[in-house]
Structure 1
Amino acid sequence: MALGIPPEDPPTSSFLLPADPLTPSSWRGAHMAQEGIKGPVADIQVPKDRLRRPGKAPPPPCLGPRGQGRPLSEIVGLCYSPQEPLNLQPEAMLLWLTLALLWSPTCWAQQKYGPGGGTYFSTSRDFQNDITGIRVFIGPLGLIKSIQVRFGSSWSEKYGAPGGTPQEVILLPEEHITGIYGSYKNFLRHLVIYTDRGRLFPFGKEDGNTFIAFPDESDKVLIGVCGHYKLLGITSIGFEWGYPSFLKK
């Protein structure tokens, strides 16, 4: 069996991708888009030898530990710096996300990722506007110190520890966040945001235990963020999923 995956049906509680994920509502046109992202990531250009073109072999695989928590870049044989845009074809995107689900803990509602401890935070609910942007503050040690969420045209308060260099992404009209990949040790270190336009936006550097979070229904999107933080940064993070505003009307 390809990739060593046993030919058995997944458990009913598994949030595997639907049989036809490459639909207009999910994973189409998978590529890393630089427009709309600000901060240190914005000026990074894609090295020509990192692009995966038809008929060309992908870059050499990254080294890393085996088993759960294995870096996504190693699982799919792709090497990339979290500060470089990642360009994937739809088929590669599908393989990446599917294998990530197999190698990472299943995401349940309100599950927290990270050791936790410290002050609790949660974004306020906005029943009129969808999330339209994310701003992440990265400290000099590579720790994710705090996070802000943009609803409509307004930013939330800053949740987490003070300081850090801001990096942000502004979503396209009617674009939504449909998945989160990340890693942590004592503090949150890495986040990759997936959208329903097939775009990916990395923040921080992958290091430590990895996780991937998805909603339990294909129509749901990210509507809130919660977690804990201490003086040096965010110690745990969780994600709330719900229906976008156009489905509520």
Structure 2
Amino acid sequence: MSTCVVKQLQMVKNAAARLTFNRRRMQVLLFLSVLLAAACAAPSYFSFSPAVGSGVGTSYTITGTGRITAVRTWENYNRQVRGIQLRYGFKWSPVGGNQGGRVNEIELFDDEFIVQISGKHVHWIYSLMIVTNRGRSLIAGQPVGLTFNMYPSHPMAELRFLSGGHQHGIISSIASHWAVLNMPTNGTAD
């Protein structure tokens, strides 16, 4: 065989090897694309309820680790909501807003979690109703102003944290952040 024919055969082999390599690479890319598309099409386990109220003043964020196990609120007597606090496991968060006035508190049972926050607002948050998956609720303040309702978009999601603003000792806005939390209990029965 002539060297020219050998070189041509070698070039054909190399081209076939490159084609096989590119085909495998394309198959891997196609597989990863399908996997990514499936992940993007999955339902969202996180949602956000935008803030209501004026939002003036100092901002607050109430976060913690684990499931919320209790909620505490402070209200001006027969008036606006002054502050809110969440307990995660056995640890209380810092207060969003201010303490003072009448205190309201609810301790959640094992496997109980917050599924709705409703209330009334104008410039301030005048009332809050915090509802659990067991139908229990904590009510603070007075029903004055415009109605708001906050709840998660996923049916198994629960309240994870709150944010908003406060001024002059009164909550001026509140927003809620929801997510699915896979925990067997809320941590109060340990």
Question: Is the structural similarity TM-score above 0.5?
Answer: yes
Residue 229 (str. 1) matches residue 163 (str. 2) = no
| 1:117 maps onto 2:56 in alignment | yes
> What is the SS of the residue equivalent to 2:69?
strand
List 4+ stretches of structure 1 deviating above 4 A. none
Matched residue, 1:173: 110
Deviation at residue 153 of structure 1 after TM alignment: 1.2
- Match in the other structure for 1:238: 175
**Separation in 1, partners of 2:104, 2:143:** 16
Could you tell me which residue of structure 2 aligns to residue 197 of structure 1?
134
Q: Report how far residue 162 of structure 1 moved.
A: 4.3
Matched with 1:44 is none
TM-score, L = length of structure 2: 0.68
How many angstroms apart in 2 are the aligned matches of 1:159 and 1:198? 25
- 1:166: Cα distance to partner? 1.3
Provide the rounded CA distance (Å) in 2 between the counterparts of 1:113 and 1:145: 15
Structure with higher helix content = 2
Deviations 1:68-125 (A, max 9, x none): xxxxxxxxxxxxxxxxxxxxxxxxxxxxxxxxxxxxxxxx724001111110100134
Q: 1-side partners of 2:122 and 2:128: how far apart? A: 13
Q: Identify the structure with bigger relative contact order (alpha carbons < 8 Å, sequence gap 6+).
A: 2
Structure 2 residues not aligned, in runs of 5+: 1-46, 185-190
For 1:132 and 1:186, the matched residues in 2 are separated by 30
TM-score, normalised on structure 1? 0.53
Of 102, 119, 128 in structure 2, the residue corresponding to residue 182 of structure 1 is 119
The residue matched to 1:109 in structure 2 has which SS? strand
For the pair 1:207 / 2:160, whether they are aligned, the reply is: no
- Superposed CA RMSD in Å reads 1.6
Q: Percent identity?
A: 28
Aligned twin of 1:65: none
Q: Which has the larger radius of gyration?
A: 2
Instruction: Please tell me the residue identity of whatever aligns with 1:113.
Output: V
Q: Whose strand proportion is higher, 1 or 2?
A: 2
| 1:143 aligned residue (80, 90, 99) | 80
How far the C-alpha of 1:186 sits from its partner, in A, is 1.7
